[in-house]
Structure 1
Amino acid sequence: MREKSHTTELRVRGLVVREVLLGETDKLLSVMTAEYGRIPIMAKGARSIKSHLITSAQLMCYSELTFYEREGRRWLREASPIEVFYPIRLDIEGFALAQYFFSICCELFPEGNADGAADMLRLLLNSLYAIMTDLRPQPLIKAAFEFKAMALSGFAPDLDGCAECGAVDSPYMLLDLAGGTLRCEKCVERAIREDINQSLISRTEEERRGAAASFSLSPELLGLLRFIAAAPIKRFLSFEAEGTVAAQLGAVCENYLCNQLERGFETLDFWHSLRLAQSSGGQKEQT
């Protein structure tokens, strides 16, 4: 006689970071949770206007979810919204930035990887709150999120000092975006003198490419990176940066992330296109 299959029901708080539309009314949600990492949950009928799930089972909604497992899949039974970040949904730039953050989350956290998930969830929620409340200009929130996400995921560069001589301070430090190491001014100049035809001290083609992808850091810029990497998540945006320094911070954080992950993001390109269109139209963001 065939045994009756059993189901396991679980309750968890999670943030919807991706959704795939299926059929006429269904969704496959990708939910970032502290306990299980990023998990897929099928939301049957969640797109129907009559569904009790329509509000809480949508992208960028932080909800308390009750789901059951059957035959290796998770099915959403109930959902209660905790925070839907409604103001972000009214701001196309803010919504685009949130989607970029979700893209980074999905890249850094394959489904089922729970290691470090609690910190990433907190980082996402704090960053969404910052966007929603205009806590900082969006470019600063973006830069800090990029660098902090990399630090939490084990991709942080070694910012303690020069990889060659150990110097902590220098008129400038050169950050190798591929290797994640620093070179002080004296070591850079010495390497150039030793072999003017090579970039830094590279010997292989791979090293030459890595050395070419580098970024010059002023003491102020290096101090900001060190702060973001080391700060508690609740304080990772507790810094000020304006003008050239803010622009450089945005550039180095974005380039470091893309170099380390060896890819770009369509969501990032879209956010940049919105910023460019706004600037070109003379409607600059009030910061």
Structure 2
Amino acid sequence: MRQLHIHARKGLGQHFLVDSTSLEASITAAELSSHDVVIEVGPGLGVLTEQLAQTAGQVIAIELDERISSLLQKSLSRLPNVTILNANILDMDISNLLQQTVPGPSSDYKVVANLPYYIAAPILRHFLEAKIKPQRMVVMVQKEVAESIVAASGKMSLLGIGVQIYGKPSIIKYVPAESFHPPPKVGSAIIRIDVYKQPAVDVDIAGFFRVVRAGFSAPRKQLRNSLAQGLSISPDNAAELLNKAGISPQRRAATLTLKEWAELYNCVTNTISIEN
């Protein structure tokens, strides 16, 4: 980094991975072939980018920091299958990105990245909610975020539901702070998300998450109270909806499964309007 005259920017959540075993774990988990298109967000010093380029057919690296993107455009120019773009991934339409950078009609792609921790959740949602979703995501995130994403009912979170409705997540490897420069103040983990061809439950996604957000509006409260608060209805009406869905009004949001949320959503939409 010193030789390249680059200093990590705290405001962009920059912590550059320098541990080769973690890089190898990400590559292995992605199961890449020469036919794969890979989108990498936050390539940093380009170490993972180079590894991806050795296996994947094409690598599209999106870097917000103009200093780093300029450097990578020069240092990786020898790799014909690597494209470096200086942009904010959250401002990009994935369909347009693929049309502009990938030759041919195929829209299949994978995401492999060490995500900036402060916007990891929005980036995950951006890809999973895109019209054209990735086949698989292998990403480094904060340890607590990873555990929230893979949690089962009992420890479910809004983020966990937001990921699990679209794919099956698993933790590949825990990564200690000393694997980065500079070391972050939190632990990290590599997660893999195998994305479903269709969502896990057959619901209107926007309406479904309106109900889920309502249930998590006061996660420590019983559902009869949190759902009432989130949907602006009385606790008695909320309890009635929960009973219709076969869910005890005394339960808490973290204990519900995806199927139970879907059943609750159906009961809510058949009874009241949940438009914003």
- TM-score by length of structure 1 reads 0.31
Q: What is the TM-score with the length of structure 2 in the denominator? A: 0.32
